[in-house]
């Protein structure tokens, strides 16, 4: 493993902000720490970088210990690159000079060649002579990534790198930067509170709450198979619908009987909540199952309907926008779901 965080803990004034956290990241993987503000994700990044000292646990890079409670390898010796949310470019240096900044060990010709090759990768070779104030925010961030990659670090850390950009640019740049990192076989960890960034960039995502990882998994599993209620609520939209366990791995709901992944030890007739995503409920005019539209949110290609079921419980349904129904109208619905997850 390139990066191993082994039960690391950090506290400020006796308040634990990182709590017994462990993750592993292989070479060439992009990991993400996703969570709300104050959950400890940036502190984890600072511990990896060596900006703070560990209270407990151990950090290893390429199998070598770089931090434990009694030892901290200096930041400059860890072969780690950093990309910050404010870009941190030098205003008095042009794009080429900014990119080459960390390459002092190379001769001038080699330094320029390496910097230009990275600018070509991020699509900014033509802007080599420009200064940061002449670039857009997205261009500045691509220069920051090129600069961080130039010394070929073992690990790249990105701290909320797109938070200063508008939504459309953020999503597009997330995909572009992922392509850049993959083309360089770079290993990286991104910290963000934005799940769209996480989904666009990361191979594995750790959802954090109160200093600990609630689930470290693929985007698909976090969305469709969340490990607990917090992950289910934080990742994507959805509702928790009341249900009753009617048989082994089976529940009875307002929408019928469903096969279900039940928590260990759940008994027959026990009440549970099942997670339904908006894409699990399909609009079907021919379905005998009816639901009343309570509210609607037009989203361009789709409309997100909030529906009231016969029992009074509510659910969400994402429907192509040419199916434009009025609030108060009843529509036919059916389930189209591969697996149902239940919580006690």
Please give the pLDDT value at position 165: 82
Say how far apart CA 170 and CA 164 lie, in whole Å.
Answer: 9
Strand order in the sheet with 271-276: 256-259, 250-253, 239-247, 271-276, 342-343
Alpha-carbon span 342 to 251, nearest angstrom: 9
The pTM assigned to this predicted structure is 0.91
Residue 87 has pLDDT above 80, yes or no: no
Residue with tokens 């004034």: 13
**pLDDT tens across 58-69, in order?**
999 999 999 999
**% of the chain surpassing 90 pLDDT:** 86
82 pLDDT above the threshold of 90: yes
Tens digits of residue pLDDT in 5-48: 999 999 998 899 999 999 999 999 999 999 999 999 999 999 99
pLDDT (tens digit per residue) in 140-159: 999 999 999 999 999 999 99
Q: Contact, 240 vs 67, CB < 8 A?
A: no
Percent of the chain with pLDDT over 70: 100
| Residue 215 near residue 207, CB atoms below 8 Å | yes
CA–CA dist 246, 40 (Å, integer) = 40
Check if CATH label 3.40.50.300 holds for domain 3-232.
yes
Residue 86: predicted pLDDT: 82
pLDDT in tens, 265-316: 899 999 999 999 999 999 999 999 999 999 999 999 999 999 999 999 999 9
Using DSSP, state whether 87 is helix, strand or coil: coil
The Cα–Cα gap between 95 and 125 comes to 9
Residue 112 structure tokens? 């320029």
Q: Give me the residue spans of the domains in the chain.
A: 3-232, 238-343
- What homologous superfamily is domain 238-343 in, according to CATH? Nucleic acid-binding proteins (2.40.50.140)
Rounded Cα distance between 59 and 52, Å, is 12
- In angstroms, the CA 304 to CA 245 distance is 29
Give SS3 for 124.
coil
Burial class from Cβ neighbours inside 10 Å (0-12, 13-18, 19+) for residue 334 reads: middle
**Residue 98: band (very low, low, confident or very high) from pLDDT cuts 50, 70, 90:** very high
Residues 86-101, mean pLDDT to the nearest whole number: 92
pLDDT for 179 beyond 90: yes
């Amino acid at each position: 493993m390139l990066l191993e965080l082994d039960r690391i803990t950090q506290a400020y004034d006796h308040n634990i902000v990182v709590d017994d956290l462990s993750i592993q990241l292989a070479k060439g993987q992009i990991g993400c720490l996703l969570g709300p503000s104050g959950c400890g994700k940036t502190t984890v990044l600072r511990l990896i970088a060596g900006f703070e000292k560990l209270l407990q646990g151990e950090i290893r890079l390429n199998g070598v210990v770089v931090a434990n409670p009694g030892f901290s390898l200096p930041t400059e010796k860890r072969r780690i690159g950093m990309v910050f949310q404010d870009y941190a470019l030098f205003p008095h240096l042009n794009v080429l000079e900014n990119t080459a900044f960390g390459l002092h060990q190379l001769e001038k010709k080699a330094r320029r060649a390496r910097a230009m090759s990275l600018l070509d990768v991020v699509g900014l070779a033509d802007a080599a002579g420009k200064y940061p104030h002449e670039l857009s925010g997205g261009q500045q961030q691509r220069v920051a990534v090129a600069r961080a990659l130039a010394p070929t670090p073992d690990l790249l850390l990105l701290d909320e790198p797109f938070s200063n950009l508008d939504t459309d640019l953020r999503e597009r740049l997330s995909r572009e930067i992922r392509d850049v990192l993959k083309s360089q076989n770079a290993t990286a960890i991104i910290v963000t509170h934005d799940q769209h960034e996480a989904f666009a960039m990361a191979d594995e995502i750790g959802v954090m709450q109160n200093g600990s990882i609630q689930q470290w998994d693929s985007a698909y599993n976090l969305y469709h198979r969340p490990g607990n209620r917090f992950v289910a609520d934080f990742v994507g939209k959805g509702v928790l619908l009341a249900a009753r366990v009617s048989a082994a791995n089976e529940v009875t709901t307002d929408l019928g009987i469903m096969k279900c992944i039940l928590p260990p030890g759940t008994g027959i007739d026990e009440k549970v909540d099942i997670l339904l995503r908006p894409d699990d409920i399909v609009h079907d005019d021919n379905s005998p199952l009816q639901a009343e539209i309570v509210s609607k949110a037009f989203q361009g290609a789709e409309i997100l309907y909030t529906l009231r079921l016969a029992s009074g419980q509510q659910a969400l349904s994402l429907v192509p926008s040419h199916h434009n129904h009025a609030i108060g109208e009843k529509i036919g619905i059916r389930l189209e779901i591969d697996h149902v997850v239940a919580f006690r």
